Amino acid sequence: MSYGKKIPITRPVFDQADLESVTYPLKSGWVAQGSWVKRFERAVASFCGTEFAVAVSNCTAALHLGLIALGVQEGDEVVVPSFTYVATANAVEYCRARPIFCDVSPADLTMDLELLEKSITPRTKVIIPVSLFGVPVDMSAVKEVSEPHGLLVLEDAACSLGAFFGGIHAGTEARAAAFSFHPRKIITTGEGGMLITNDIQLADKVRQLRDHGASRSDLDRHLGQGGSLLPDFDVLGYNYRMTDIQGALGVSQMSKLNLFLASRLEAARRYDTLLADLEWIITPQATEEATPSYQSYVVVICREDKRWPSLEEVDELNLFRNGLMARLEEQGISTRQGTHAVHTLGYYKERYGFRDEDFPISFMSDRLSLALPLYDGITFDDQVYVVESLAKWTAGRGRTRTG
């Protein structure tokens, strides 16, 4: 039975300034990649504290170009966590390189750094740690493994604009990092992505690659001299440009980033408190140095004593999780599986012959994770309603099991 309440999984927030922002490029007549994209890039670089930011059409494009710019080629191996959105591994496949999966840690669902070393072979070129759901990875721990092997690190920080580790912004300690501005992220430009780096050559290369490989951008040709002739195209590029309409919206959204982050953090803390006594649920954990951006608030359905189950117990708990999601939906509450175990997806299973249990924590996280509604402006009452609904159904489970 539905109570007529509707609580979405997320809700992007657009105010009057956002609405006006998109009219600036429209009124100017310049709507493709131009000065608004530049301003958006400067805003992101300045917020994160990097020298360069290069906007592209989405985060997957940023990862793809980042890998090419780092020299990844056919036959190379790139280590990625097995519990992440499929785009992380797909970017590696686009380069005809091989993603080498590394399981995640049950502590915070990011790459298990104890296992990372074992994933490295003489063919490894790059490591892509993922700051999943906005939980920043400990880059000094990643570097302890990558540096002795001379490996480059490209951080997938799709969800992590505004996340900090030890006071340092996510992505800034890697050679480069990629953000997403999809509507489920901290700020949105509809679709959109950005690569940040302190490496000028890498930034230049990605700028060129996003624009068909052109040696000079349209804006430069328009503003400068000698723009009548087409520039050189001496590398194979792509059209991964962001539009100025998105750039203008991005600038406007950036001006509210700190407010969005504060509101998400407050809502996450409220869930932490409200969910603390609930059996069957592990709330998101992060180390003391981490300040997550809370792109998502992802809990794990577990055993009654708040412990991770064994592999044998997963199927039963998975049925329970799926039933729970269906019941919450009936109550008007949207939830989502946290993300997926990429090695269990059809393409990767078929191509590399993985079994579910090859990366057990990722497999269990796929089957047992549950993202709760979280967005700027979710009310305390809505969160109480979510938690009370969860409590009702999880308590029901306890009774069923004990008779």
Ligand X SMILES: Cc1ncc(COP(=O)(O)O)c(C=O)c1O
3-state secondary structure of 141: helix
* Closer Cβ to ligand X, 158 or 203, answer by number: 158
Instruction: Find the binder of ligand X among 159, 214, 302, 386 (CB under 6 A).
Output: 159
Alpha carbon 121 to chain centroid distance? Answer: 26
Q: Could you say which residues in the range 255-274 bind ligand X, by CB under 6 A?
A: none
Q: Please give the Cα distance from 222 to 395 (Å, whole number).
A: 65
Residues 6+ apart with CB under 8 A from 291: 136, 163, 164, 165, 265
Structure-token pair, residue 169? 């912004």
Structure-token pair, residue 370? 């549950």
Phi, psi (rounded to 5 degrees) for 383: -70, -35
Residues 6+ apart with CB under 8 A from 124: 76, 77, 78, 79, 100, 149, 151
Q: Minimum distance from CB of 37 to ligand X (Å)? A: 16
CB atoms near residue 71 (< 10 Å): 12
DSSP 8-state assignment for residue 263: H
Q: Please give the Cα distance from 188 to 246 (Å, whole number).
A: 9
Instruction: Find the binder of ligand X among 72, 158, 268, 281 (CB under 6 A).
Output: 158
Count the helix, strand and coil residues of the chain and give each as a percent rounded to the nearest 5: 45, 15, 40
Q: Is 60 in the site for ligand X (CB under 6 A)?
A: yes
Q: Which stretch binds ligand X (CB under 6 A): 10-18, 151-159, 298-306, 367-375?
A: 151-159
Q: Is 293 in the site for ligand X (CB under 6 A)?
A: no
Q: Which stretch binds ligand X (CB under 6 A): 136-144, 154-162, 241-249, 373-381?
A: 154-162
* Closer Cβ to ligand X, 231 or 292, answer by number: 292
> What's the half-sphere exposure (Cβ side, CA atoms, 13 Å) at 15?
13
Does the active-site annotation cover 185?
yes
Q: Is 324 in the site for ligand X (CB under 6 A)?
A: no
Q: Minimum distance from CB of 260 to ligand X (Å)? A: 17
Q: Is 283 in the site for ligand X (CB under 6 A)?
A: no
Q: Look at the alpha carbons of 116, 119, 123, 128 in this order and tell me if their dihedral is positive or negative.
A: negative
Q: Is 193 in the site for ligand X (CB under 6 A)?
A: yes
* Closer Cβ to ligand X, 116 or 154, answer by number: 154
Q: Which stretch binds ligand X (CB under 6 A): 52-60, 67-75, 213-221, 352-360?
A: 52-60
Catalytic residue among 118, 185, 205, 349: 185
Secondary structure tally for the chain: helices H, strands E: 15, 13
Q: Which stretch binds ligand X (CB under 6 A): 28-36, 85-93, 106-114, 376-384?
A: 85-93
Instruction: Find the binder of ligand X among 7, 54, 59, 153 (CB under 6 A).
Output: 59
Q: Minimum distance from CB of 178 to ligand X (Å)? A: 7
Q: Minimum distance from CB of 182 to ligand X (Å)? A: 4
Q: Minimum distance from CB of 313 to ligand X (Å)? A: 27
Strand 52-56 versus strand 193-197 pairing type: antiparallel
Instruction: Find the binder of ligand X among 30, 83, 85, 363 (CB under 6 A).
Output: 85
Q: Is 84 in the site for ligand X (CB under 6 A)?
A: yes
Q: Is 58 in the site for ligand X (CB under 6 A)?
A: yes
* Closer Cβ to ligand X, 185 or 270, answer by number: 185
Q: Minimum distance from CB of 85 to ligand X (Å)? A: 4
| Residue window 104-143: x/- pattern of binding to ligand X, with contact defined by CB under 6 A | --------------------------x-x-----------
- DSSP letters, 29-77, are T--SSSHHHHHHHHHHHHHHT-SEEEEESSHHHHHHHHHHHTT--TT-E
Return the closest-CA partner of residue 319 out of 402, 399, 403, 393. Answer: 393
# residues contacting ligand X (CB under 6 A): 15
* Residues in touch with ligand X (CB under 6 A): 58-60, 84-85, 87-88, 130, 132, 156, 158-159, 180, 182, 193
By annotation, the residues acting in catalysis are: 185
